[in-house]
Amino acid sequence: MLHRITPNMITFSRIALIPVFVPLLLVRDDYGPGTWIAFVLFALLSLTDGLDGYVARSRNKVTRLGIFLDPLADKLLVTAALVTLVQLGEINAWVVVIILSREFAITGLRAIAASEGVIIAADWSGKIKTVLQIALVLVLIVPSAPEWLALSLTVLTVAVTVGSGAEYFWKARDLLRDGGPSLVDTAGSSPETGADAR
């Protein structure tokens, strides 16, 4: 049975569970079951981030659709969580605006690069940024999380998010200026992780 599960099926499942996660987060009742179900579900969806990419590579089934859907699933999950947390008053809207602006900007940069037939080179800053965003959401979901921890993680996440975005644009300066391949990754892998984009 397991061999019938395709990488894209895993990715679609992650996307399909987002509408389940959001209501659980909205109706959370401090230490009630809804809060912890939302916490566990977000953690599982985040942990399975690399599963679809691993399955695709191990079975040699990396597809253009998968390369597109995997980072999309990540961004949809984090976006849904952050926007919901803004509605709950757990995080300032300006923080989410900064984070989402970076995501849209890098997505646009990747689209420009793709139109020139190049792929943005991998970078650890994107991975660190994603880990911090996931950690921030998990901390904000927990009612008993110390305020200093949430604040510190928020500041660090914003700093790394902005810094990693600026780094990508700096590397792409030649590409943006005259179409030159300043950051070509000819391996054919997706930016940042080899299977998904950050």
Contact residues for 149 (Cβ-Cβ < 8 A; gap 6+): 139
Residue 155's CATH number: 1.20.120.1760
Total domains present in the chain: 1
- The one-letter code for the residue type at 139 is V
Say which residue the tokens 């909205």 belong to.
26
Taking 60 as the threshold, does the pLDDT of residue 183 lie above it?
no
79 domain residue, yes or no: yes
Q: How many CB atoms lie within 10 A of CB 73?
A: 24
130 domain residue, yes or no: yes
Tens-digit pLDDT profile for residues 19-40:
999 999 988 766 678 888 999 9
Confidence of residue 184 (pLDDT cuts 50, 70, 90): very low
Looking at residue 186, its pLDDT comes to 40
187 domain residue, yes or no: no
**First-to-last C-alpha distance (Å) of the chain:** 31
Name the residue with higher pLDDT: 184 or 73. Answer: 73
CA of 42: how far to CAs of 25, 79, 136, in Å?
Answer: 10, 12, 12
Tens-digit pLDDT profile for residues 116-166:
777 665 578 888 998 999 999 999 998 888 999 999 999 999 999 999 999
184 domain residue, yes or no: no
Looking at residue 140, its pLDDT comes to 95
CA of 8: how far to CAs of 4, 52, 66, in Å?
Answer: 11, 7, 6
Looking at residue 63, its pLDDT comes to 67
60 domain residue, yes or no: yes
Name the residue with higher pLDDT: 174 or 19. Answer: 19
198 domain residue, yes or no: no
Contact residues for 9 (Cβ-Cβ < 8 A; gap 6+): none
Residue 5 tokens read as 């599960």
In 143-154, which positions are buried (b, 16+ CB within 10 angstroms) versus exposed (e)?
Answer: eeeeeeebeebb
Looking at residue 181, its pLDDT comes to 52
Looking at residue 169, its pLDDT comes to 86
Taking 90 as the threshold, does the pLDDT of residue 188 lie above it?
no
Contact residues for 106 (Cβ-Cβ < 8 A; gap 6+): 165, 168, 197
193 domain residue, yes or no: no
